[in-house]
Amino acid sequence: MNVSAKFSIASYIPWGLFFAFLDLFSIFLVWLANPAVLHTLVPVILLSDTLLFAGLLCVLHFRQKKQIRALSVFLENPCAETLHNVLITQTPALCPTMQQLLEYMLRQTMEMENLQAQQRQYQEFIEEWTHNIKTPLSLATLVLDNHKEEMSPYVYRRMNHVRQEIQTDIDMVLYYARLQGAHLEYRFESILLQELINEILFNYREQMNETGIFVETMCPPLIIVSDRKVLTFILSQLLNNAFQYTPHENGKICICGWEINAADSSQAPVIHLAVRDNGAGVPTQDIPFLFDKGFTGNHPDRRNATGMGLYLVAKYADALAIDVIVEDDTYQGKGFAIRLSFPAISHLPSPERLC
């Protein structure tokens, strides 16, 4: 933090008024004592007081610069040594108060550094854990694939469904931990939306068979520019939410994509993607809070919810400049629908996978 000293004549006006009063009083005394020498002593009095006032200004200004320099160094590197350097530049009357203030700032700074260190350790632990947990998860996937014939179709579907749920929970923990970091990097590329949807739905094939929920996709060949991994996480969270609250009997999830041309023909159309289900929906009073961290609402079906899925969707969508909208028909008894609106880009490159 840089603290600079600026010369302000207004701060020295009281001193100027004091010397002016002193000059007038001295001239008045000379006039009372010997009016004949008034014309000789007045220039001497004015010159001496002017030089004295200039010297005082220099001393005060130098002292002020020294105080501000010491304070700037303390703010850049708060420690006992820089604190001592600040205190020795202060007046004795101000020193105790300044010492209490700066010691409090020093304690707060140390506590903040400790918290930041703990936050970094926590994030590193979570990322390392999610990395290490992938090994047994990959082994479980390999065992399931190699011994599929030894299991009944029902057991295989159930185990694969559980594996997918574990993977989803791991992704949520990882993306939440990354959200706490100071800097996030995104890799933007052109994406064929229908292709990405098919890739995501491939991981839900066992869940669709297990639950009996019908998933319908209606998406023309639309191209967007976004981060493929993060967008995959966002859509997966919306699908998890839909699968969780859609009834197994006659349950239906619809993934719809479309584009709307802008009023100005020179602008690119806006692309929308909605994930809709025919579940019980949510109470109207809960809608404004759906994207709040930890919010689960009072719906009976949400008693085991964490309230983190839609929160992470909103956070990462904001980072990708995607608008997240709860559609107007989302009311209790009329299903639930969330729409993503992607930013309009005038010139889209052809979709390419980045290595």
Residue 168 and residue 56 share a domain:
no
d(CA 309, CA 331): 19
The CATH number of residue 328's host domain is 3.30.565.10
Instruction: State how many domains the chain has.
Output: 3
**Sequence-separated (6 or more) residues with CB below 8 Å from residue 73:** 82, 85
Residue 33 and residue 83 share a domain:
yes
Last residue in a domain, options 157, 179, 201: 179
- Residue 323 maps to a domain: yes
Tens digit of each residue's pLDDT (9 = 90 or more) over 260-318: 886 666 667 889 999 999 887 887 788 888 888 877 776 555 555 667 888 999 999 99
- Provide the token pair at 308: 């983190």
- Residue 111 maps to a domain: no
**Inter-CA distances, 78 with 66, 83, 96, Å:** 17, 7, 18
- Provide the token pair at 206: 């066992």
Please, which pLDDT band fits residue 160 given cuts at 50, 70 and 90? confident
Residue 129 and residue 163 share a domain:
yes
pTM over 0.75: no
d(CA 196, CA 224): 11
d(CA 192, CA 311): 26
Q: Whole-number mean pLDDT of the chain?
A: 79
CB atoms within 10 A of CB 265: 6
Residue 331 and residue 211 share a domain:
yes
Residue 301 and residue 217 share a domain:
yes
Angle between helices 309-319 and 153-179 (to 10 degrees): 50
Q: What is the residue range of 230's domain?
A: 189-342
- Residue 163 maps to a domain: yes
Residue 195 and residue 170 share a domain:
no
pLDDT at 233: 92
Cβ-based burial of 207 (10 A; exposed 0-12, middle 13-18, buried ≥19): buried
Name the more confident of 304 and 112. 112
pLDDT at 349: 55
CB atoms within 10 A of CB 165: 13
Residue 163 and residue 197 share a domain:
no
